[in-house]
Structure 1
Amino acid sequence: MDADRLISIRLLAGIVLIAGLVACGEEDVRETVTLQVEQAPEYMVPNREPESVRTVLSAPAQEKISQLRGIIESNSLRQLTRLASSQSGFVSNFAGASHGEHWDLLRRTGFDPILRLDELLDGPYGVKMVAGETWYVWPELAALEPEALLPERLNFSQRARLEELVGEAGIAQVREGRGYPGIRTAIAEDGRWLYYVHEITGEE
């Protein structure tokens, strides 16, 4: 009986061993492959700056925006001209025309100064320091210096934004180092409305 039991145990052990070998043979062989990927170019990296970091508009600047909003609501070019004329050093054009004449001419050619101003103020703004003074500039890309505005210096989202704002023709002007070529406006930290222009000649 002991001999039979020993034989049975050996047979059982053999079966278990064979089953284990078969299972190992059927198991998928998986290799771990590690790929080395270079870091994406800077212009393709989204801007990760949180919105909370954005400089908050000063109280005087917010008051000026509220005043402009009121004029926009009234759709009065005369009121807009009156406000611009009351702002020390305000610039609307570089041809020497009065604010009213210039904006009236633009409106006659299909460019509505009030509508475009409304669109600007609805969008994001940038901040720049000029002679120690803080300026809030719309749109945000207009706050960049000419060399910083080059497409190669912008991230992916900024490049798309620039193309949306000024098109290929505007980007060509940017590459010439002429600064932001689109319509833009700015308000100083003390609430002064500084400029509202669409020409390329530098106003800063």
Structure 2
Amino acid sequence: MLGAAACSPAAPEAPVYPPESLSQDPQAPEPVEIPEAVAAMRDEMLGYAKRGSLSGLSRLARENEGFVSNLGGQDHRAYWDLMRRIGVDPNRQLRALMELPVGVREVDGVKWYVWPDLAAKNAEDLIPEKLSFRDRKRLQDLVGDDGIEEIRAGKGYPGMRTAITEDGRWVYFVLGQDAEE
């Protein structure tokens, strides 16, 4: 009798299932609701951008203390005019940027609303393997292979981006790695 028991197949093990979060369809993140002050600044920026007014945008930038348009410290209008002459129209770029999802980042206790949302992430959270497949594709489309290489090297989001603080101050509008070089 003992010999027969030793040859019997073992009881089947219970199947191992992945955690429930891995077996569900990916969920789109909740849309970010922006405060009135942010919406008002966004609308003012877009008004100038839709009219193609670099003068209006640069005047608005000057009214916002500490505003950054380029990493070289050039005058906003002169820099944006140069960009337009070489084929990178800041008005068109700003309009396109504002069509992307917005993210939120806290800086020194103040909420910044950042376009695109991927630019609001910390560098270590931008590594493609940490992103959903949809966000990986978006990141690739926004910054390309060179940008992803910079992210893997520990740098922050290298593409075009803009931010407005929760109280409506326009903080920056930089055109990213291609325009800055």
Q: Above 0.5 in TM-score?
A: yes
Mapping of 1:11-90 within 5 angstroms? Answer: 47-51=26-30, 54-90=31-67
Q: Which has the greater radius of gyration?
A: 1
Q: What is the CA–CA distance in structure 1 between the aligned matches of 2:132 and 2:164, rounded to whole Å? A: 26
Q: In the alignment, what sits opposite 1:120?
A: 97
Q: In the alignment, what sits opposite 2:128?
A: 151
The answer as to whether partners of 2:38 and 2:166 remain within 8 angstroms in 1 is yes
Q: What is the CA–CA distance in structure 2 between the aligned matches of 1:80 and 1:159, rounded to whole Å? A: 32
Q: What is the CA–CA distance in structure 2 between the aligned matches of 1:94 and 1:180, rounded to whole Å? A: 14
Shift of 1:156: 1.1
Q: In the alignment, what sits opposite 2:111?
A: 134
Q: What is the CA–CA distance in structure 2 between the aligned matches of 1:140 and 1:125, rounded to whole Å? A: 4
TM-score of the superposition, structure 2-length normalised?
0.82
Shift of 1:49: 4.6
Q: What is the CA–CA distance in structure 1 between the aligned matches of 2:29 and 2:136, rounded to whole Å? A: 19
Q: What is the CA–CA distance in structure 1 between the aligned matches of 2:165 and 2:21, rounded to whole Å? A: 35
Query: What residue identity is the alignment partner of 1:186?
Result: A
Q: What is the CA–CA distance in structure 2 between the aligned matches of 1:128 and 1:141, rounded to whole Å? A: 10
The answer as to whether partners of 2:32 and 2:102 remain within 8 angstroms in 1 is no
Aligned partner of residue 164 in structure 2, secondary structure: strand
The answer as to whether partners of 2:102 and 2:114 remain within 8 angstroms in 1 is yes
Q: In the alignment, what sits opposite 2:78?
A: 101
Moved more, 71-80 or 136-145: 71-80
Aligned partner of residue 119 in structure 2, secondary structure: helix
The answer as to whether partners of 1:61 and 1:191 remain within 8 angstroms in 2 is yes
Which ranges in structure 2 are unaligned for 5 or more consecutive residues? 1-13
TM-score of the superposition, structure 1-length normalised?
0.74
- Residue 162 in structure 1 maps to residue 139 in structure 2: yes
Q: What is the CA–CA distance in structure 1 between the aligned matches of 2:29 and 2:67, rounded to whole Å? A: 32
Deviant stretches of 4+, over 3 Å? 34-42, 44-47
Q: What is the CA–CA distance in structure 1 between the aligned matches of 2:17 and 2:150, rounded to whole Å? A: 35
Aligned residue pairs, count: 164
Aligned partner of residue 79 in structure 1, secondary structure: helix
Which ranges in structure 1 are unaligned for 5 or more consecutive residues? 1-33
Cα-Cα RMSD: 2.3
The answer as to whether partners of 2:124 and 2:154 remain within 8 angstroms in 1 is yes
